[in-house]
Chains A and B, each alone.
Chain A
Amino acid sequence: MAKILVVDDDTDILSVMEILLSMKGFEVQVTSKGENALPKTESFKPDLILLDVLISGHDGRVICKQLKSNKETCHIPVIMFSAHPGAAASITEYGANDFIAKPFDVNNLMKKVNAQLGLGPT
């Protein structure tokens, strides 16, 4: 069972993402605090991270860069998401593997998740 970590400061998004991804058969952990992203990654060892861009006090792009520059975590694919127009343009330089704009289409999200995990379409 593939493991996914979701980082977003909006707790409503976290709860519904937890339901959705669990239902799709993933093992899910979530956090609403930017400072928990790195320790959670180390302890949970996810196969994929879904990371918001603006996380109340933390810049998700900086977290992504930290993950990608750490040899323990650099191999983990990161999909960033944001409702902020123009956020997509700046994420590749921080090492993110993909981006999805909020509000996203669930099927589109699942396609991106499966692509990063090397899983076929469901």
Chain B
Amino acid sequence: MNIKLLETRKPAIEKLSSKFSVETQFKLMADYAPMPMWVTDIYDQSTFFNQAWLEFTGRSIEEEYGRGWIKGIHPDDLHKCLKIYEAATQRQKKYTVEYRLKRYDGQYRWVLESGVPQFTSDRVFEGFFGSCVDVHDIKEIEHRKDQFIIAASHELKTPLTSLNIYLHLLSGKFGSDSQEKFNHYISGAIEQVDKINGLINHLLDLSKIQSGSLDLEWAVFSFGALVKSIVKKMRVIIPSHKIILNGKISGKVKGDPERISQALENLLSNAAKYSKDKDKIIVELYEDNKNVNVSVTDFGIGIDKEHLGKIFERFYKIPGKKEDTFPGMGIGLYLSQQIIKKHGGKIVVESEKNNETKFTLKIPIYKKLVKHTEWPKF
């Protein structure tokens, strides 16, 4: 098959060889390649950059020639890069290095660069040929994953701390207690086990969503009644805030009430978590032509515009000195959004830093298909 393919291409290759020099052919190919590429000489001076490199850096070939390209490397990575280049040139061996390269828009992007030494036919070293791959997004998700593991272990350790103390109290090391106190410690311990269980369920949901195996138990029910019962439950769980429920709707939805509750409860506990010094959360129910809507508004720390698009992403936690002090694994909003999307709906957010934050959960109204069993009478 391959031989056949080569044979069919032979005339084209011959035609190209007769038309262009090897160097021109290389440049043509390099310019069509999607990844940034370059060539250096034996003194580590650049002699060529392909079109993709110039488009990436937004600089002219004249600016990049020689050692001009050094300007694009992040100052914190430059020393490491130069050491690697020097060692590779001395050894005349291939290398790989990761560093941040300045893109045309000023953003430093992580790239993975590979350099391969070039030799003449009589094995004289001529310099390096290299190419880069933009690995910035992969590195970012890797970093988020690392942060997630730290956050998840933090979250699991917190209820374990309380559980551990309750168990010590129960072990009777601290004197004999009344039955009433004994019961209090046991219920305290059970509550902490429930919290750990809840956290582990969240982790399991995450992997179910990833693998597409999160199954819903479908039912048709009144959305307003479900929201009312969730608000009632959350008023007990969040005694620090007054949850005000406004609006009334009659629309029904088709979905898994347990999962929809999970999403709405997540929005409510987030609202309380990020508005610790406020005492009010407003829940509003309304209907439009297509959807039933429930919005949750808090008056806490708010969300900066630049993060609004990312908060529904897996493992995303808004960075910041103040933001870092809040507990959480960075998967709640991701799970909620995925659950609601499985119902054909979505969660949208409106917010500004240090201002109110409003999350709105939208699910299509269930419209029963009417079967015409008899013809209308005229």
Query: Which B residues touch A102, using CB under 8 A?
Result: 157-158, 160-161
The answer to whether A9 touches B327, judged by C-beta atoms less than 8 angstroms apart, is yes
Determine whether the beta carbon of B277 is less than 8 Å from that of A24. no
Interface size band for A: 20 to 34
Interchain Cβ contacts within 8 Å, total number: 82
Residues on A with beta carbons closer than 8 Å to the beta carbon of B322: 57
Contact pick for A24, options B155, B174, B188, CB 8 Å = B174
Task: Please determine whether B165 and A83 come into contact, CB atoms closer than 8 angstroms.
Answer: no
**Chain A: minimal CB distance from B186 (Å):** 13
- Taking a contact as CB atoms under 8 Å apart, the answer to whether A84 and B154 are in contact is yes
* A89 at the B interface (CB under 8 A): no
| Contact of A33 with B161 at beta-carbon distance under 8 Å, contacts A57-B326, A84-B150 already known | no
Which chain B residues (136-159) contact chain A, with CB distance < 8 Å? 150, 153-155, 157-159
Chain B minimum-CB-distance residue to A15? B188
Q: Which residue from chain A places its CB closest to the CB of B166 in the assembled complex?
A: A16
**Contact between B161 and A103, CB atoms less than 8 A apart:** yes
A33 with B162: CB separation less than 8 A: no
- Given A23-B169, A103-B160: A56 touches B327 (CB 8 Å cut-off): yes
Q: Is A72 an interface residue (CB 8 A)?
A: no
CB distance from A26 to the nearest CB of B (A): 12
Residues of A within 8 A of B162 (CB): 10, 12-13, 16
Cβ A57 vs Cβ B160 within 8 A? no
Q: Known contacts being A16-B188, A33-B277, A57-B301, is A83 close to B161, with CB within 8 Å?
A: yes
Q: Which residues on B sit within 8 Å (CB–CB) of A15?
A: 188
Q: For chain B residues 168-189, which have a beta carbon within 8 Å of chain A?
A: 168-169, 174-175, 185, 188
Q: Which residue of B lies closest to A84 (CB)?
A: B154
Q: A24-B174, A59-B325 are in contact. Are A85 and B169 (CB under 8 A)?
A: no
- Known contacts being A10-B158, A12-B159, A83-B158, is A56 close to B165, with CB within 8 Å? no
Interface flag for B191 (CB, 8 Å): yes
B157 CB contact (under 8 Å) in A19, A23, A35, A103: A103
Contact with B along A8-22 (1 / 0, CB 8 A): 011011011101100
In the complex, what residues of B have CB within 8 A of residue A35's CB?
Answer: 277
- Size category of the B interface is 20 to 34
CB of A104 closer than 8 Å to a CB of B: yes
Q: How far is the CA of A104 from the CA of B167 in the complex (A)?
A: 12
Docked complex Cα distance between A59 and B324 (Å):
9
Does chain B have a CB within 8 A of A58?
yes
Residue of B nearest to A55 (CB): B325
**Contact across chains for B169 and A13 when beta carbons are under 8 A apart:** no
**CB-based contact A23/B174 at 8 Å:** yes
Nearest CB in chain B: distance from A51 CB, A: 13
Question: What 0/1 readout, one digit per residue, does chain B (313-331) give for beta carbons within 8 Å of chain A?
Answer: 0000000011011110000
CA distance A3 to B189 in the complex (A): 26
Among A35, A58, A105, A106, find the residue whose CB has the most chain B CB atoms closer than 10 A. A106
Q: Which residues of B contact A57 (CB under 8 A)?
A: 276-277, 301, 322, 325-326
* Contacting residues, chain A, for B327 (C-beta < 8 A): 9-10, 54, 56
Closest to A58 in B: B325
Known: A56-B325, A84-B150. A106 touches B165 (CB 8 A): yes
Assembled-state Cα–Cα distance A44/B99 (Å): 53
Residues A105 and B164 in contact in the complex (CB < 8 Å), given A19-B169, A54-B324: yes
B257 to chain A, nearest CB (A): 28
Residues of B within 8 A of A16 (CB): 162, 165-166, 169, 188
B50 at the interface (CB under 8 A from A): no
Chain B, range 186-237, C-beta contacts under 8 Å to A: 188, 191-192, 195
Give Cα A62 to B174, complex, Å. 34
Contact B276 A83 (CB under 8 A): no
Q: Is B273 an interface residue (CB 8 A)?
A: yes
Complex Cα distance, B325 from A35, in Å, reads 13
Q: How far is the CA of A56 from the CA of B153 in the complex (A)?
A: 17
CB-nearest residue of chain A to B300? A57
Q: For A58, what are the chain B residues with a Cβ–Cβ distance below 8 Å?
A: 325
A36 to B154, CA, bound (A): 24
Question: Known: A20-B165, A20-B169, A33-B276. Contact between A83 and B154, CB under 8 A?
Answer: yes
| Contact yes or no, A104 B164, CB < 8 A | yes
List the A side residues contacting B150 at CB < 8 Å.
84-85
Interchain Cβ contacts under 8 Å between A and B, 11 examples: A10-B158, A10-B327, A54-B326, A56-B325, A57-B301, A102-B157, A102-B161, A103-B160, A103-B164, A105-B164, A106-B168
For the complex with contacts A83-B153, A102-B158, 11 further pairs of A-B residues with Cβ separation under 8 Å are: A12-B162, A13-B158, A13-B162, A15-B188, A16-B162, A16-B169, A19-B169, A23-B174, A57-B276, A83-B157, A83-B158
